Amino acid sequence: MVGTLRQQSVKDRQFVHGALLVKRPGYADKFLEILRIIVSQNEIYLPEKIEIGSDKGSRTVIFDPGLLKQLSLEWDKAGPVATCILKRFSPSHVEIYLGKVPLPFESIGINVEKDYFDSPDKLLHLLAILQDLYALTKPSYGYVETQEMIRRFDSQGGKVTMGINLERALPDIYWANFLGPEYVEMFGRKKLESAPCYRVETLSDGGILLLLTPSPFDYDKDPDGFERLRLSVKEHLGVEAFDIGDWHFKGKTPAFDFSDKEKTQKTPVRAEQARGFDILSAARRYEWVNLIMNTKELALQLVNEMASKGVNLDFSANGLRKLDEHIPPTTPEATYFTSFFMRVAAYVAEVVMRNLGGSWLFEENAMPTNEGLPVLKINDIYASPVVRTQKVLLEGEKFEHWYRTLIEQLKLND
């Protein structure tokens, strides 16, 4: 497997991104049915490779439709935190990713190179696939966007994206907007059906699909016009239901019913914060790209920040202990949380690479999308600094224990 960055791919490829957010307990038990929907599409949505990975390890295989049941068994064995990425490289680059995370919502995502969509029929095909997946998994929310549509807000750490936290508010109006029955009840069916947009459709479970314009590329042609349209839709539905770029903002939301009582009771004490902000699914593709490409610089920023507080981080295992002891208190509501998270994750990754070796897996092995997370490969062991950072910041776990466990795993594999 290849563990290097492809500069051209990262910088030059542009994607149309679609996602569906399924409420806990998610769609893990529908994995086989999801694969069957994808395989039935043929054309560019038929994957060439599939990767199933978790902190336990990762395996990439040439995709074979005859292996669906075997892949489903591997998915079951991957544990409660895992990612599956289905990839195609020719004639267009396509990624379909599935995730398991112990958080309120799990995403199904599709990335398709923008250049592929040279006819309206291809856009309709993408929507049809998402509608099929919607009918199976019954998500609360979904969308189709391009990167240009994503708003960034000013914060103490510079420009940031707020990510998607449905328990705070809807992120925005994008080109396509899947609103499940909970949102139909909240907004009212008549109001949704009269939204001032290009098209309104009723979905299989009574949810609503809003298409803002005929094509997502209408944004490229007339960004100001696109912005006016989505503002008019938000004003029609009620702007109080949409994020405003403030971590403290709590907008109008449905009364989500998370019915998995047993899992809720087993959630760690500080996991309520994780419910308020999940960087692993909220971070956008380019934010993971920035972390991978600027690991050293971001790590040094944290070193300087901690030095100003009298804490010397020296890129050693002892430095991780100091970080555990002196990491400044912060909450997901802090305006600088995302940038601070990335600096910490970068420092931890740099400690691993300097002392144990390894490199980030990116394009061929772990494409970083909203749910496809970048990982480090050290020999045949896979480690996830970003998952560990979320567990430390939001659930009170420790870096040092994770690092020593990683050392023991490497010894066993020698």
- pLDDT for 298 equals 85
Tokens describing residue 96: 């379909």
Instruction: Please give the domain boundaries of the chain with CATH numbers for all domains.
Output: 282-412 (1.20.120)
**What pTM did the predictor assign?**
0.67
Which tens digits make up the pLDDT trace of 108-142?
999 999 999 999 999 999 999 999 999 999 999 99
The C-alpha atoms of residue 373 and residue 205 are separated, in whole angstroms, by 31
Output the pLDDT for position 286. 66
The residue whose two tokens read 């934010």 is 287
Residue 166: name the closest of 188, 191, 141, 186 by CA: 141
Spatial CB neighbours of 325, under 8 Å, sequence gap ≥ 6: none
pLDDT tens readout for residues 377-398: 888 788 889 888 888 887 778 8
Query: Of all residues in the chain, what percent carry a pLDDT higher than 70?
Result: 81
Q: Which helix (H) or strand (E) holds 59?
A: strand 57-62
pLDDT in tens, 246-289: 767 889 999 888 765 333 333 333 333 333 446 776 676 667 77
**CA–CA distance, 400 with 380 (Å, rounded to integer):** 21
Q: How far apart are CA 19 and CA 171, in angstroms?
A: 13
Return d(Cα 182, Cα 166) in angstroms, integer: 11
